[in-house]
Amino acid sequence: MFKRLPGDEARNLVSTTPDTAVVFRPAVVKTPAILTIVILTGRMLVRLVRTIWRHPIAAIVPAALGSLWYFYGWPLAASLSGTVVLALISWAFLDRSSFARLVGYRLLAWWRLIWIYRRHWQPVMIVSGLGRHLRGRDYLPRLGKVTCTSWADVVTVRMLKGQAVKDWADRTDHLAQGFGAKSCRVAPSHAGRLTLTFPRSDPLASPLPALAIPEEPTVGPVEIGKGEDGRPWRLKVHGTHVLVAGATGAGKGSIIWSVIRSLLPAASAGLVELWALDPKLMELSYGRGLFGTRYAATPEECADLLDEAVCVMQKRAARFAGLQRSHTPTLGDPFVLVVVDEVAFLTAYQSDRQLRQRISAALATLTTQGRAVGVGVLAALQDPRKEVMNIRNLFPDKIALRLDESEQVDMVLGDGARDRGALADHISPVPEIGAGVGYVRLETSPEPARVRAAYVSDADICAMVDSFAPHGGAA
């Protein structure tokens, strides 16, 4: 007559009248005290072993000090502790970088693991929907190792069975807020595991001055800025094509001029030729002397210059056929870099239909066939929509600077890039903070990386022109 719940039984009914509530009393199982003590002792031992295994140094240090105190007295333990602390402080003052790498960041990681992540792990997982509470039991993703760098916490996580990376990527805001970080980035590492990155500071908040011009000729990868991890940002331009997308004032010129600046010694040596298409007549015209006769501004001149680049490419392909599959820059066959500022003006906003089709066909030909014979394209645009730039997928390497809409991030960097932390639409519009900051996604590494290009000022460009113009002839 009554539906019995698991572990419950109906007894001692006060009344059997229909309007009387039925009282259910849970079944009580009496456990022997000795069994309870054994279970609690076993759990305590398991947790103790797990703590020692996960934190061996934190467990050994107090155990060693306690043993010294017990066997030799407190003066020896105190003097040894003071000596160690003094040595660590001296090390920190004398060589801060090595101390931080070997000791400081490890201590910080241990503290943040205990005080931030492990303490808040259960409520954050449950509230964000990444954990489940079923029948009185919590099913939580397993928190792994925490590693601290100079700017971020890197947390490894083992997902629950049946979870996907997208489940975590959709909840980056919840994770960031739950653990007190400004943002969170999700990246898969191994099967069933992923890596969460929580930035503690922004190492790219300050503008970078123009980098020094290389002393030796090089075709790349060229150093044009700094990555978020503090290492130099080197961009490959030889053997690939690069698309740079960003709103007005996002810093596209910083990338273009930093690339040109790094290639000037090679251009002076005859190993590189810089061809410039400048339909806006603003950005590249300031250093027009660096390009010699390979500079075009009007749509007709741009079309002619692109056709000439296609002709160079086809002649090289005919000579290389059956002899070599990759290009090595030489004085006879230098690397040709075609720099196009605001390519959408030529491919989408050009009123002359025939001229627009001619330019689009030339760019498509260069981006599909040019890199094997040493002809590369570096193009910049503001609007990354498909109807504006229908050949954007022909660029293997892409850079997203500040964008106006969140949907544009995936248009530039590919599907899922924003879910994995490429928040190009959140970059500050203040030039001192956000100009030149962006996310790069390379052909060889699908995970977006945050970078900042160095700012090349007008004075730097004038100095470049004075030192390196003119610099050579045609291909």
Q: Is 246 annotated as a binding residue?
A: yes
Q: Is 197 annotated as a binding residue?
A: no
Angle value at C-alpha 230, between 229 and 231, nearest 5 degrees = 95
Strand pairing class (437-442; 397-400) = antiparallel
Q: What is the DSSP string of 401-423?
A: -S-SSTHHHHHHH-TTTTTTT--
| 381, β-bridge pairs | 245
Looking from the CA of 178 toward its CB, the CA atoms found within 13 Å total 21
Q: Is 212 annotated as a binding residue?
A: no
Q: Which of 276, 243, 282 is nearest to 260 (CA)?
A: 276
CB 312 within 8 Å of CB 275: no
Q: Is 104 annotated as a binding residue?
A: no
Angle value at C-alpha 62, between 61 and 63, nearest 5 degrees = 90
- C-alpha to C-alpha distance for 404 and 381, rounded to whole angstroms: 13
Q: Is 247 annotated as a binding residue?
A: yes
Q: Is 250 annotated as a binding residue?
A: yes
Phi/psi for 225 (5° steps) reads 175, -150
185 burial type by CB count under 10 A (0-12 exposed, 13-18 middle, 19+ buried): buried
| Residues in the annotated binding site for ATP | 246-253
| Residues in the annotated binding site | 246-253
